[in-house]
Amino acid sequence: MKSTAKVLPLGESALLVQFGKEIDPHVQRKVDAFMTLLETEPFLGMLECVPSYTSVAVYYDILKIAPMIDHGTTAFQVVRKLVSEKLEQMNEGTVKERNVIEIPVCYGGSYGPDLEEVAQHNQLSLEEVVNIHASKEYLVYMIGFAPGFPYLGGMSKRIAAPRRKEPRTLIPAGSVGIAGEQTGVYSTDTPGGWQIIGKTPLSLFRPTAKHPSLLQAGDFVRFQPITEKEFIRLEGEEA
């Protein structure tokens, strides 16, 4: 298929395939389709590909590309041609199966110390914030910031809230936060400035597992409100 993607240099041994500039499900589908193609049919010399909201970074082994470089050409030009050929082969209808992962969350209290602030900011009750947050199905646009941390799209503007003026020095893994019109889940203990509205007992990053990240770009997430008693029980099962 004919692609309108831009192929740009990214250092000496990588390039960037840009499918758009806006965070949009249609653009993400193109990212997902191209990732699927490269992962199943990599070109000679490709090392890895990394997705973001609107683009895919493609890293390559310059030594394996070297034999294909003619006089007057560069490694980037050679790889750009290979990538352009892949783009012509890309089929947006051929993407990996999209999983829907349910994530239990205990909202408010010590698990969500900023829930009240988010509610006040939006002139809503605590229950309304929880219901709105848990009523959506969120698309995982990418994994980043920390290992296993999902950037989720699709949150209602009704519960959007600015980042904290003073970031916390430590946010526990499993904390569910809001920053602007985004929501996400802290996968590891880390500093951060998102508004914390709840916590999940699930481990999103499991370094010893075959697939360390519980979520992958292209998955969907649904949040399921649970009680503190249920949280403690599930936390024990995760340990």
Task: Tell the residue number behind the tokens 């229950």, with chain if given.
Answer: 127
Are 151 and 77 within one domain? no
**Joined tokens for residue 217:** 């770009």
Q: Are 56 and 35 in contact (CB under 8 A)?
A: yes
Are 21 and 80 within one domain? yes
Give the burial class of 85: count Cβ atoms within 10 A of its Cβ; 0-12 exposed, 13-18 middle, 19 or more buried: exposed
CA distance 15 to 222: 34
80 assigned to some structural domain: yes
109 assigned to some structural domain: yes
- State the DSSP H helix or E strand holding residue 233, giving kind and residue range, or none if neither: helix 228-238
Are 20 and 131 within one domain? no
Average confidence (pLDDT) over 231-237: 91
Q: Are 187 and 204 in contact (CB under 8 A)?
A: yes
Domain end position, chosen among 89, 121, 152: 89
CA distance 207 to 148: 10
Domain end position, chosen among 49, 66, 89: 89
**Joined tokens for residue 31:** 């990212």
CA distance 72 to 164: 53
21 vs 135, which has greater pLDDT?
Answer: 135
Are 56 and 142 within one domain? no
CA distance 133 to 10: 37
Are 152 and 219 within one domain? yes
CA atoms within 13 A on the CB side of 25: 8
Are 198 and 226 within one domain? yes
The string of pLDDT tens digits covering residues 108-158 is: 999 999 999 999 999 999 999 999 999 999 999 888 888 899 989 889 999
**Joined tokens for residue 150:** 């999902």
* CATH at residue 61: 3.30.1360.40
Strands 55-60 and 46-51: antiparallel
The string of pLDDT tens digits covering residues 44-77 is: 999 999 888 899 999 999 999 999 988 788 999 9
In which domain, by residue range, is 192 found?
A: 100-238
183 assigned to some structural domain: yes
Are 126 and 200 within one domain? yes
Are 56 and 132 within one domain? no
Confirm whether pTM is higher than 0.75.
yes
114 assigned to some structural domain: yes
95 assigned to some structural domain: no
Domain end position, chosen among 29, 64, 89: 89
Quote the number of domains for the chain: 2
Are 30 and 119 within one domain? no
* CATH at residue 220: 2.40.100.10
Are 78 and 116 within one domain? no
pLDDT of residue 3: 63
Are 50 and 113 within one domain? no
1 assigned to some structural domain: no
94 assigned to some structural domain: no
Q: What is the CA radius of gyration of the chain?
A: 20
pLDDT of residue 1: 47
Beta strands (DSSP E) in the chain are 6-9, 14-18, 46-51, 55-60, 100-107, 137-143, 150-153, 168-171, 175-179, 182-185, 190-192, 195-199, 220-225
Are 223 and 127 within one domain? yes
141 assigned to some structural domain: yes
